[in-house]
Amino acid sequence: MAEDKKLVEAITSMDVDFAQWYTDVVKKAELIDYTSVKGCMVIKPAGYAIWELIQSQLDARFKETGVENVYLPMFIPESLLQKEKDHVEGFAPEVAWVTHGGLEPLQERMCVRPTSETLFCDFYANEVHSYRDLPKVYNQWCSVVRWEKTTRPFLRSREFLWQEGHTAHATAEDAQARTIQMLNVYADFLENVLAIPVIKGQKTDKEKFAGAVATYTIEALMHDGKALQSGTSHNFGDGFAKAFGIQYTSKENKLEYVHQTSWGMTTRLIGAIIMVHGDNSGLVLPPRVAPVQVAIIPIQQKKEGVLDKAYELKERLKGFRVKVDDTDKSPGWKFSEQEMRGIPVRIEIGPRDIEANKAILVRRDTGAKIEINLDNLENEIATLLDTIQKEMLERAREHRDAHTYTATNYEEFLQTLNEKPGFVKAMWCGDRACEDKVKEDAAATSRCMPFEQENLSDVCVCCGKPAKKMVYWGKAY
């Protein structure tokens, strides 16, 4: 029995040390491994399979809105990067530079892309000439490099995988519509695929993307009460177009600047899945992104007919992602491993079950056991996976709502931020000085100005001046 428990006992309790719990889970579930390249990780098959499911389902949603995929270079000449001043200043501390090609110094150093706005702008300047060329609705799946000082698997690494959409439009209205459309695609994806509820809203000017007119965000709350920015969509207006000379001839035969957007999601979504749904036994994966949705565990598998029955059940479940654990480990070990890896459902099948034409289904999310008749296997599995997906979202939403507070004066505001991990809703005057003060006093930031506004009071929680917006505040990853 001690051997059977070893796998689970290797995980630190999330209530004791949440950061260590997170590291233990990503390592024990074999999602990543560390490398000799500081701040970079190997995404192992179990982790990459989750990313592939995210990528394929998100990509399909993009294409339903008219998005086309492209690929641009990973190197950006310094002169190109310098064309948009605010953008450069925003990324300067994180840029990695290439100074040599082979043994020869380069005439102009190049950065490894931290993001690709400047390359897309350079491309669009040559691609767009007439109103007939618009809109351009492109996306690329790639990696980017940002020289982070403090790193953590999936949440913050020096190289990470993502998608970055870059679009060009004839009018400001078209660009704004696309910006919000993609934010809504992200929000729907997190809630209906990853089972993570989000708050949709706009970033303050202090927190918006460098060079953007406006940045919109979806904010999720992790189990420890910290916020995670889970996807952003930016309206660039015509600022980049003016810097890079992206113009088109309108129907009225006038020369106009395009209006642009950019939007992205990254592998940090895997970190979000872990921190929203995981428990002290390991991962708990939503069925729609679980690489293995059903694990079949044969009991007394050396007895005649047991393994054959397990594979017969797998064959019947062709519409699902199913694995038979036919290793020589004990059933207890296999149960622990299935729980550690977050597989949503396991089927326990042994000689007595076969004789009675029954099996036991066990839910990973709740541990509930259900005895079923094997004649109904396919329908039972389909129904159970849908139920798990739905209830995981409901539980995550209940947790978020239970850890969302309101404050109407500064003393209450600081006390809540420091003593009750979660979101704090409070009114704000719009002055950056108040944001800076909150960060200094409580190490918290404005997460977003939600689209669904509430009037909690008439004055700013920080300075007492007339309030302009209700803001979600919190400590964040």
CA distances 381 to 277, 338, 347, 387, Å, are: 21, 17, 10, 10
Of 387, 414, 437, the one marking the end of a domain is: 387
Residue-wise pLDDT tens digits, 134-147:
999 999 999 999 99
CA distance 426 to 469: 9
Could you tell me if 423 and 340 lie in one domain?
A: no
CA distance 79 to 59: 32
Q: Is residue 397 part of a domain?
A: no
Could you tell me if 81 and 110 lie in one domain?
A: yes
Of the pLDDT bands very low, low, confident and very high (cuts 50, 70, 90), residue 87 is confident
Q: Is the pLDDT of residue 290 over 90?
A: yes
Of 339, 360, 387, the one marking the end of a domain is: 387
Q: Is residue 248 part of a domain?
A: yes
Could you tell me if 268 and 321 lie in one domain?
A: no
Could you tell me if 454 and 382 lie in one domain?
A: no
Which residue's structure tokens are 């990067």? 81
* For residues 100-104, average pLDDT: 96
User: Can you give the pLDDT at residue 7?
Assistant: 46
Q: Is the pLDDT of residue 5 over 50?
A: no
User: What CATH number does residue 424 fall under?
Assistant: 3.30.110.30
* For residues 330-359, average pLDDT: 97
CA distance 175 to 173: 5
Which range of residues forms the domain containing residue 322?
288-387
User: Can you give the pLDDT at residue 29?
Assistant: 96
Q: Is the pLDDT of residue 361 over 70?
A: yes
Residue-wise pLDDT tens digits, 398-441:
999 999 999 999 999 999 999 999 999 999 999 999 999 999 99
User: What CATH number does residue 321 fall under?
Assistant: 3.40.50.800
In order, the DSSP letters of 228-266 are EEEEEEEEEETHHHHHHT-EEE-TTS-EEE-EEEEEEEE
Provide CB contacts within 8 A for 59, sequence distance 6+: 69, 139, 141, 163
User: Can you give the pLDDT at residue 84?
Assistant: 75
Q: Is the pLDDT of residue 252 over 80?
A: yes
Could you tell me if 311 and 449 lie in one domain?
A: no
Q: Is residue 392 part of a domain?
A: no
Of the pLDDT bands very low, low, confident and very high (cuts 50, 70, 90), residue 355 is very high
Could you tell me if 321 and 199 lie in one domain?
A: no
Provide CB contacts within 8 A for 368, sequence distance 6+: 362
Q: Is residue 151 part of a domain?
A: yes
User: Can you give the pLDDT at residue 92?
Assistant: 80
Residue-wise pLDDT tens digits, 253-289:
999 999 999 999 999 999 999 999 999 999 999 999 9
* For residues 177-203, average pLDDT: 98
Number of domain units in the chain: 3
CA dihedral (436, 438, 442, 448) positive or negative: negative
Q: Is the pLDDT of residue 1 over 70?
A: no
Q: Tell me which residue of 440, 437, 442, 443 sits closest to 477, measured CA to CA.
A: 443
Could you tell me if 416 and 350 lie in one domain?
A: no
User: What CATH number does residue 150 fall under?
Assistant: 3.30.930.10
Of 277, 303, 319, the one marking the end of a domain is: 277
Of the pLDDT bands very low, low, confident and very high (cuts 50, 70, 90), residue 323 is very high
Q: Is residue 141 part of a domain?
A: yes
Of the pLDDT bands very low, low, confident and very high (cuts 50, 70, 90), residue 86 is confident
Could you tell me if 273 and 295 lie in one domain?
A: no
φ and ψ of 133, to 5 deg: -85, -5
Could you tell me if 75 and 222 lie in one domain?
A: yes
Q: Contact at 8 Å (CB) between 260 and 290?
A: no
Could you tell me if 241 and 308 lie in one domain?
A: no
User: Can you give the pLDDT at residue 10?
Assistant: 79
Q: Is the pLDDT of residue 85 over 90?
A: no
Q: Is the pLDDT of residue 22 over 70?
A: yes
Q: Is the pLDDT of residue 77 over 50?
A: yes
Could you tell me if 326 and 239 lie in one domain?
A: no
Burial class of residue 438 (count of CB atoms within 10 Å of its CB; 0-12, 13-18, 19+): buried
Q: Is residue 393 part of a domain?
A: no
Q: Is residue 2 part of a domain?
A: no
User: Can you give the pLDDT at residue 3?
Assistant: 40
Angle at 174 between CA 169 and CA 180, to 5 degrees: 115
Could you tell me if 235 and 122 lie in one domain?
A: yes
